[in-house]
A and B are shown apart, each in its own frame.
Chain A
């Protein structure tokens, strides 16, 4: 219980800073809406039905927007030298990682909600499936992506290439989230039964679990001086 308290302390600190400045949320939110506008004009809607490619567009927007915000996970600590302060605190490093993941998850889940609402309105999408299953798919997909990206964001921040390195590290590894996330979301949009997406949900859960455990285990090798 005390451990979860530590995780929450780290997450609360990050969320508090975010909700006072809105820096990352504003950047990711604006990105999501503007990409929707650009997508609209990059697709010939007379030839392609937006409904049939909506799942792909939505997931790519969530992931690209997520890269934008998650790349800055350790920026504040790095710039102000606050990292050494945190490293000297008695918080175990795996709890620090999980706290960062939790804060990033909350932020990206909010953005994912915005993307679904905005794209639904922009492309006049109709959703016929189970909302609970959709929440499960998006929640687990975002969790897996955040678990992986938070660790690699710490890696990228430690290099001289910084955030520009992050996509090279994340994109090859995040393919399972794209495949299972878009397949399941597409099927739910088409009103298919929940049984057809349960395999995807299990795979997304496995992906999240693998990278949460790996991230918590290896974070100390990344963050220690």
Chain B
């Protein structure tokens, strides 16, 4: 994909994303009914849940791109992995910040050592390690390989961590949408949630493309530093 097309993609997806975010907030504040048990605070659900869906999808992309990068050595896959990891980190932070705001009202505590909370916090730190490894390697090619290994190890460990922390009793509300019997929430709530998911997906895709383009440009610049030849001939596509 050429940089010009990426630029249009970033702008288009970003504008659509911001518009959908506005629509989402209109729906959250004026559209959906108030949940009968939890009250007003339940409305944070429409931000919190999509943020986690995006987080997990992004980290799935990181692991997949990292694994194929180690296999094929294609530089674009590494650029995609780091772009997805940064986006995932942003949405993971949103999830980690919105969770306690809800929990303070619903559970009466900012934080509990509940399986999903623990896993979410550890996920954030696993990817902090991913970035630290990348940033602190002198040879960039080696940094990419090391980070890919850390990303894969992290994703391999997530199911094991999930099983181990689930040994403790779970306080977290059970899944209401992704469950075998089908969703069990009001249609307007489900729609708002879907708008939230769409908004966050658009914003994520826009950020992902922007970050991917920056990563590619940085590589072109690095290449220009090592070669004395003028960079005009370098293919940035």
Contact A168–B153 (Cβ < 8 Å): no
B174 interface residue, CB < 8 Å from A? no
Known interface pairs A161-B132, A173-B157; A218-B165 also in contact (CB < 8 Å) = no
A159 touches B164 (CB 8 A): no
A155 contacts B165, CB within 8 Å? Answer: no
Interface of B is mostly: helix
Contacts of A214 in B (CB 8 A): 152-153, 156
Chain A neighbourhood of B111, CB < 8 A = none
Nearest CB to that of A171 among chain B residues?
B125
A206's contact among B133, B148, B152, B160, by CB below 8 Å, is which? B160
Known: A160-B138, A176-B160. A155 touches B122 (CB 8 A): no
A30 at the binding interface (Cβ < 8 Å) = no
Q: How far is the CB of A174 from chain B (nearest CB, A)?
A: 9
A169 contact from B123, B133, B145, B164, Cβ within 8 A: B133
Is there an interface contact between A168 and B165, defined as CB atoms closer than 8 Å? no
B137 contacts the other chain (CB 8 A): yes
Nearest-Cβ distance from residue B118 to partner chain A, whole angstroms:
8
Q: Is the CB of B136 within 8 A of A173?
A: no
* A interface residues (Cβ-Cβ under 8 A, vs B): 148, 151-152, 155, 158-161, 165, 168-169, 171-173, 175-176, 179-180, 183, 203, 206-207, 210-211, 214, 218, 221-222, 224-225
Query: What would be 23 A-B contacts, judged by CB atoms less than 8 Å apart?
Result: A148-B153, A159-B133, A159-B136, A159-B146, A165-B132, A169-B129, A169-B133, A172-B126, A172-B154, A173-B154, A173-B161, A175-B165, A179-B165, A179-B167, A203-B160, A203-B164, A206-B160, A210-B157, A210-B160, A214-B156, A218-B149, A222-B149, A224-B145
